[in-house]
Amino acid sequence: MEIDKSLPKSERILLAAADVFSRKGYMQATLDEIIEIADTGKGTVYNYFKNKDNLFYTLVSKINEPFVTALLKIEANEESPFLKLELYLKEMLDFLRTNDTLWQVLFYEMMGANRGWYFIHDYATKENRLVVKWGAGPTQEEAERVSRYSELIGSSFRILENIMQEGVDTGVFKPSPENKGVHYAARHLYGGVAMAVFFGNDREESSATVAKIIADRFLFGFAKSAK
Amino acid sequence: MEIDKSLPKSERILLAAADVFSRKGYMQATLDEIIEIADTGKGTVYNYFKNKDNLFYTLVSKINEPFVTALLKIEANEESPFLKLELYLKEMLDFLRTNDTLWQVLFYEMMGANRGWYFIHDYATKENRLVVKWGAGPTQEEAERVSRYSELIGSSFRILENIMQEGVDTGVFKPSPENKGVHYAARHLYGGVAMAVFFGNDREESSATVAKIIADRFLFGFAKSAK
Amino acid sequence: MEIDKSLPKSERILLAAADVFSRKGYMQATLDEIIEIADTGKGTVYNYFKNKDNLFYTLVSKINEPFVTALLKIEANEESPFLKLELYLKEMLDFLRTNDTLWQVLFYEMMGANRGWYFIHDYATKENRLVVKWGAGPTQEEAERVSRYSELIGSSFRILENIMQEGVDTGVFKPSPENKGVHYAARHLYGGVAMAVFFGNDREESSATVAKIIADRFLFGFAKSAK
Amino acid sequence: MEIDKSLPKSERILLAAADVFSRKGYMQATLDEIIEIADTGKGTVYNYFKNKDNLFYTLVSKINEPFVTALLKIEANEESPFLKLELYLKEMLDFLRTNDTLWQVLFYEMMGANRGWYFIHDYATKENRLVVKWGAGPTQEEAERVSRYSELIGSSFRILENIMQEGVDTGVFKPSPENKGVHYAARHLYGGVAMAVFFGNDREESSATVAKIIADRFLFGFAKSAK
DNA sequence: AATGAATGAGTCTTCATTCAT
DNA sequence: GATGAATGAAGACTCATTCAT
């Protein structure tokens, strides 16, 4: 990979990091390879980023930002929940197709290596609450790390929930059984889209087409006729 | 974790490995911790397993076997595709709830480290074909590794495809637009279930209930009425 | 430095460590130099010692042991405090002359790098009590480290105090002004001997002779006649 | 720590250096922390001081100066050696209590890293002479460094020797056995005071009181009666 | 004179793998 | 078969020093 030498160091490092983290994952990515590609010194990386984790987080955080902005715009517009959902999915497909490998890593880092504890988003307080099932629980550092990553994913995920909830509230979408909220259905849709992209790297259909199909199937079902 | 000392060494090692890989993921799991739990020597591990990767693969492979057997039985029975789908989902939920962390790792190892190349399952030859988009492609070792892991996931995934295809063929499920096959929809459903489990560690509802809900939503849609 | 290759690895490492720590001090000593001299692999060091600090501590601890044993024997014998004091000093001189550089490092590590906090030995509970004058205080790790080193020095220092106190109790030594105990005088004597050895590397006089002189001057004064 | 911004840069750097070296010791002190406190640029430090070592030396050298001036004044006055000794000790106690950590570092730097070679002060030529017992000896840089630091300590130490020698010459202090000079006794007293301060951070008694006690004990002994 | 971005040599530490017993 | 002592390649991170502006 070649990086434009005229860019400032910090950007060159981020570009190189994107490349390496995508190919190697978090653990196997090495700073040596990153500085080799960024054509910079090792110390320079540590002038801009506190450590490896901070470099990775800064990177995905930066990429995530315009994505969330676009989604918020979709959520805020005046269209029907049907169309909003489709627009959301198209946006998400475009985003994941561009950042597939990096987001695989992010998903994994968010979920992985967790012993007996996890975070649950408390919709009342809007905070992530630590639940320790057993064991000693995470160190503060581990907890913060996972929490940060959860928050990143959550920032786009909750917009999907909002759109779906709007549909339920306005009576066009089915409520969940026993009115449990849309969390589970949203999780399923969100995760399904992500995995479908991660799984298959084919890009034969445009994201608009695929979004339309997914939305259609999700809303009106895979069965030929209603029960 | 306590392991039955009367078991043969190789099994004790696998049990210990299951424990450690589940908690730590692949990279962060150490052989030192595994042999500590298995109460055996480090050399012994290398007598039974070629290396760390082979140990992990043997482990997930062994766990996967009865799962696939159960799915094959569901596929083979005489029920309607509707019920088969529900049974499949219940089986999958039970399985993933039991092996969530281990399968997170497996998914990641299967997808990860794949920039510029990937595998496509050729439904005709039933083999995984390597597609190199750009770059040097994987080393033979990398390729074999990813291929093996893909095959593991694929073994359960293709059964879902078969059930869905059966529904399409018998006219109860909608065919894909332009008759492209059920791959994309299957990927979406399969991935969605997996992510929903990986994401949320809540087990409030029984897997049977959840399977019923997912199947219902998947088949008949999230919208209140058909278009 | 040449090390007997027939010795077990752990001993070779300790011998090499003694050499390097003596010459370089704690911070500037490198494991690379130690393994070079011990003619062993870097991993081997970490099989025997948890980390650099533990290696250093194990080393000085091991050296300190027979020294304290010898001092305890002196404390326990039936001689007069006068003679005990002289014997103690001779023993200490012999010890410090042998281990001068290593003990300089130990003294420094015990005292140095302390921000606003220090340990005071509580003679009642026989424990080291942390006193934080200002600032955040040490991390637990720092505290334990310094405490361990303090304890090492303290093990020989308190024997001197005991001997001096015995002299006061039996009426042959002057009590401290306002009966404050012998701590200050002991500190002065102990530190004075240490510094005298650290300062001047001359070994012209035998330790027995020097011990006699120090004891004489300490007991009967430097002035020609009493006031 | 706040530093007066109106002071010239070089002084602000020295003040900041005093703070950091005191708290962290030589090795663990970083220029980053120093410039942070001095509120200056890193390059500026190197405009005024050749390197880290030179900064440290300039600092302690500057602090040492008024101390030595005060001691010289004591040496020069018309009082008895008894009183001079007491005044010297009070001055030293005051000084060390103020600069304890910094002087610990200085003592250590002076003594440390000296295996196989050391300096002896030649009282005739008033120069430090290098004695190589074995090994290659120090590099010129090492030698100069240790020599400079030795000279710093020596500047105050030799005044104590002078006072004691004056007492011997005028017949009020005991000469050393075989007329070897007061070096050893001075070393013992000087080192003892230093260590007593470094060891115990208690400041319960005023330096005047402590000086009186030390002088009394040193001159007239710890034993209740002369032999 | 003042600055601070850039550097890379240097260090501790980890851990999969080997092999002699 | 079973073992575990020994290994060294690899990797994150630090920090004194330089030098162009």
Q: Distance (Å, rounded) from C-alpha B60 to C-alpha C102? A: 53
Q: Distance (Å, rounded) from C-alpha C85 to C-alpha C164? A: 8
Q: Quick one: B8 and B73 in the same domain?
A: no
pLDDT number for residue D100? 87
Q: How far is D163 from chain C (nearest CA, A)?
A: 13
C223 touches chain D (CB under 8 A): yes
pLDDT number for residue D152? 92
Residue C138 inside a domain? The answer is: yes
Residue A29 inside a domain? The answer is: yes
**Cross-chain Cβ contact A185/B23 below 8 Å:** no
pLDDT number for residue A48? 96
Confidence of residue D38 (pLDDT cuts 50, 70, 90): very high
- Supply the CATH number for residue C16's domain: 1.10.10.60
> What percent of chain C is modeled with pLDDT above 90?
51
**Cross-chain Cβ contact D28/C114 below 8 Å:** no
pLDDT number for residue C109? 83
Average pLDDT for residues C83-110, to the nearest whole number? 92
Nearest beta carbon to residue C221 from set D114, D193, D218: D218
Nucleotide nearest to C41 (CA to C1'): F7
Residue D94 inside a domain? The answer is: yes
Asked which of B54-58, B184-188, D48-52 is least confident by mean pLDDT, the reply is B184-188
Residue that has been written with the tokens 């020989």 in this structure: C156
> What percent of chain B is modeled with pLDDT above 70?
89
In chain D, positions 165-204, which contact chain C (CB-CB < 8 Å)? 167, 171-174, 176-177, 183-185, 187-196, 198-202
Q: What's the structural domain count of chain D?
A: 2
Q: Quick one: A82 and A139 in the same domain?
A: yes
A156 within 8 A of A68, measured Cβ to Cβ: yes
Residue that has been written with the tokens 């995760």 in this structure: A191
pLDDT number for residue D113? 45
Given a cut of 70, is residue C137 above it in pLDDT? no
The token pair that represents B49 in the structure block: 């397993």
Straight-line distance from CA C27 to C1' E10, in Å? 13
Q: Distance (Å, rounded) from C-alpha D84 to C-alpha D90? A: 10
Q: How many CB pairs under 8 A join A and B?
A: 162
Q: Quick one: D100 and D210 in the same domain?
A: yes
Q: Quick one: A135 and A190 in the same domain?
A: yes
Q: Which of A208, A9, A10, A29 is nearest to A102 (CA)?
A: A29
Q: Quick one: C96 and C115 in the same domain?
A: yes
Which of the two residues, C110 and A47, has the higher pLDDT score?
A47
Residues 6+ apart with CB under 8 A from D121: D127, D128, D129, D150, D154, D158
Q: Which residues of C touch D185 (CB under 8 A)?
A: 217, 222
pLDDT number for residue A198? 86
Is the shortest CB-to-strand distance from B118 to strand F under 7 Å? no
Question: Which parts of chain A fold into alpha helices (H)?
Answer: 9-28, 31-38, 42-48, 52-76, 81-98, 100-111, 140-169, 183-199, 207-220
Average pLDDT for residues D183-187, to the nearest whole number? 87
The alpha carbon of residue C29 and the mean position of all alpha carbons in its chain are separated, in whole angstroms, by 20
Given a cut of 50, is residue A81 above it in pLDDT? yes
Which residue type does A125 have? T
Question: How would you classify the pairing of strands B127-132 and A127-132?
Answer: unpaired
pLDDT number for residue D64? 97
pLDDT number for residue B118? 67
Q: Distance (Å, rounded) from C-alpha D56 to C-alpha C18? A: 28
Nearest beta carbon to residue B28 from set A113, A185, A202: A113
Nucleotide nearest to D45 (CA to C1'): E2
Q: Quick one: B94 and B202 in the same domain?
A: yes
Chain F positions under 7 Å from a protein CB? 1-20
Which residue type does B205 have? E
Q: Distance (Å, rounded) from C-alpha D170 to C-alpha D167? A: 5
Q: Quick one: B86 and B37 in the same domain?
A: no
Give tens-digit pLDDT for D96-127: 999 988 998 898 888 754 455 667 777 777 77
Residue C21 inside a domain? The answer is: yes
Straight-line distance from CA B138 to C1' E9, in Å? 33
D154 within 8 A of D121, measured Cβ to Cβ: yes
Touching A (3+ Cβ pairs <8 A), the chains are B
Residues 6+ apart with CB under 8 A from D53: D145
Strand ranges for chain B from DSSP E: 117-122, 127-132
> What percent of chain B is modeled with pLDDT above 90?
53
A101 touches chain B (CB under 8 A): yes
Q: Which residue is nearest to nucleotide E17 (CA to C1')?
A: B51
pLDDT number for residue D88? 97
Q: How far is A37 from chain B (nearest CA, A)?
A: 15
Q: Quick one: B83 and B176 in the same domain?
A: yes
Q: Quick one: A46 and A68 in the same domain?
A: no
Give tens-digit pLDDT for A11-52: 999 999 999 998 888 988 999 999 999 999 999 999 999 999
D108 within 8 A of D194, measured Cβ to Cβ: no
Residue C226 inside a domain? The answer is: no
Residues 6+ apart with CB under 8 A from D37: D1, D3, D15, D16, D19, D20
Q: Quick one: A128 and A200 in the same domain?
A: yes
Q: DSSP letter at D126?
A: T
B105 within 8 A of B153, measured Cβ to Cβ: no
Straight-line distance from CA B139 to C1' E17, in Å? 21
Q: Quick one: C27 and C110 in the same domain?
A: no
Is the shortest CB-to-strand distance from C3 to strand F under 7 Å? no
Q: Quick one: B74 and B183 in the same domain?
A: yes
Q: Range of D100's domain?
A: 60-220
pLDDT number for residue C150? 87
Residues 6+ apart with CB under 8 A from C136: none
- Supply the CATH number for residue C167's domain: 1.10.357.10
C42 touches chain D (CB under 8 A): no
pLDDT number for residue B69? 98
Q: Which residues of D touch C199 (CB under 8 A)?
A: 111, 187, 191
Residue B81 inside a domain? The answer is: yes
Q: How many CB pairs under 8 A join C and D?
A: 163
Residues 6+ apart with CB under 8 A from C126: none
Sign of CA dihedral D75, D77, D82, D87: negative
pTM for this entry: 0.88
Give tens-digit pLDDT for D187-226: 889 999 998 888 775 677 889 988 998 898 888 888 876 5
Give tens-digit pLDDT for C146-183: 888 888 999 999 999 999 999 999 999 988 776 677 88
Backbone angles phi and psi of B121, in degrees to 5: -80, 120
Give tens-digit pLDDT for B120-177: 777 777 777 776 655 566 677 777 888 888 889 999 999 999 999 999 999 999 888 7
Residue D55 inside a domain? The answer is: no
Q: Distance (Å, rounded) from C-alpha B171 to C-alpha B165? A: 10
Q: Is A39 helix (H, G, I), strand (E, B) or coil?
A: coil
Is the shortest CB-to-strand distance from C43 to strand F under 7 Å? yes
Q: Output the CA–CA distances (angstroms, integers) from residue C223 to C211, D176, D178, in the order listed.
A: 19, 11, 17
Residue D226 inside a domain? The answer is: no
Q: How far is A184 from chain B (nearest CA, A)?
A: 7
Confidence of residue B105 (pLDDT cuts 50, 70, 90): confident
Is the shortest CB-to-strand distance from A185 to strand F under 7 Å? no
Calculate the average pLDDT of chain A.
Answer: 87
Q: How far is C214 from chain D (nearest CA, A)?
A: 8
**Cross-chain Cβ contact B222/A196 below 8 Å:** no
Q: Which residues of D touch C223 (CB under 8 A)?
A: 82, 167, 172-174, 219-220
pLDDT number for residue A136? 66
Pick out residues whose CB falls under 7 Å from strand E.
A 8-10, 40-44, 46-48; B 28-32, 42-43, 46, 51-53; C 28-32, 42-43, 46, 51-53; D 8-9, 40-44, 46-48
Give tens-digit pLDDT for C58-68: 999 999 999 99
